[in-house]
Amino acid sequence: MRTPDNAVLALMVQGSEQPAGAGEVQTDFFQLLSEGGAIAQIVLVILFIFSAVSWAVIFYKFWQFSRAERQTRTFLDVFRKSSKFSEVQAVCRTLTESPLTGLFLAGYGELNTQLRGPGGETKPLAGAARPTLKSLDAVDRALLRATTTEMNRLEKYVPFLATTASITPFIGLFGTVWGIMDSFQRIGVAGSSSLGVVAPGIAHALIATAAGLFAAIPAVYFYNHFTNRVKHFSGEMDDFSLEFITIAERNFT
């Protein structure tokens, strides 16, 4: 006959002999993907493509805007220290990523067209007759056209992030709804609503929602981030246009 102490010891030994990890649930994500239906896998492939392209756009825009900011600082430094527009034009070839370069070339080209000075120089020479612009509004319009062109270049691919942020949650939701419908069909076939029958189908269905959010959340954040940076560049272009018009009006009207 076992004593109470021996009985407790036997229970402790039996408990220690249970397999390690008993009662723990480990989710095999790739197994869930492989067990999902064809529609669920197509949805996941579409979401993966949206996510991959979005990240490619994000890295490209970071690279583009970083170069544009560095070159804009260099351009403004050269522009404000130079005494001739021709000196600024000489460095424009190395500063093509700056949106101000496009504005300057457009304004400078319009000035040259109107003034047609010796050698194409737009600054008045000492002792020479003061050149006069035929139309300051034409210079302003040239700057406005260049601003539109540069804005389009800066905003290129950014709308795709907004599209991704808007559409991927709904694609994921579609995959989830389809997966839940499939789960109910399996319940009807099995004739049982036990957790073992329902849980795998729901787990497969929810992966689509998670994938949709995974694609949408970064797209929303970086769309807002890049939109603000484009607005910053737009303000710099407006300021430069006013500065350019002021110089033209002061020297050529």
Residue 185 has pLDDT above 50, yes or no: yes
* CA distance between the termini of the chain: 118
d(CA 176, CA 182): 10
- Give the model's pLDDT for residue 129: 60
> Can you read off the two tokens belonging to residue 81?
């220290």
In the chain, the amino acid numbered 60 is Y
* pLDDT band per the 50, 70, 90 thresholds, residue 142: very high
pTM of the model: 0.76
pLDDT (tens digit, 9 = 90+) per residue, 42-53? 889 999 999 999
pLDDT (tens digit, 9 = 90+) per residue, 11-27? 444 544 444 444 444 45
d(CA 151, CA 201): 48
Residue 36 has pLDDT above 90, yes or no: no
68 in Cβ contact with 229 (< 8 Å):
no
- Give the model's pLDDT for residue 180: 80
Alpha-helical segments (H) within the chain? 4-16, 29-35, 38-81, 85-91, 99-115, 136-155, 158-190, 195-252
Burial annotation 142-169 (CB, 10 A radius, 16+ → b, else e): bbeebbeebeeebeeebebbeebbebbb
- Give the model's pLDDT for residue 184: 73
Residue 123 has pLDDT above 80, yes or no: no
Measured from the Cβ of residue 236, the count of other Cβ atoms closer than 10 Å reads 18
Greater confidence (184 vs 28) lies with: 184
Residues recorded for the chain: 253
pLDDT (tens digit, 9 = 90+) per residue, 190-245? 666 666 656 666 777 788 889 999 999 999 999 999 999 999 999 999 999 999 99
> Can you read off the two tokens belonging to residue 165?
């942020």
CA 47 to chain centre: 16
d(CA 122, CA 74): 22
Query: Whole-number mean pLDDT of the chain?
Result: 81
143: nearest Cα among 15, 236, 20: 236
φ, ψ at 82 (rounded to 5°): -85, 145
Q: Which of 94-103, 128-137, 194-203, 215-224 has the lowest mean pLDDT?
A: 194-203
d(CA 198, CA 189): 12
- Give the model's pLDDT for residue 221: 97
Residue 154 has pLDDT above 90, yes or no: yes
CA 223 to chain centre: 5
What percentage of the chain has pLDDT greater than the value 70? 73
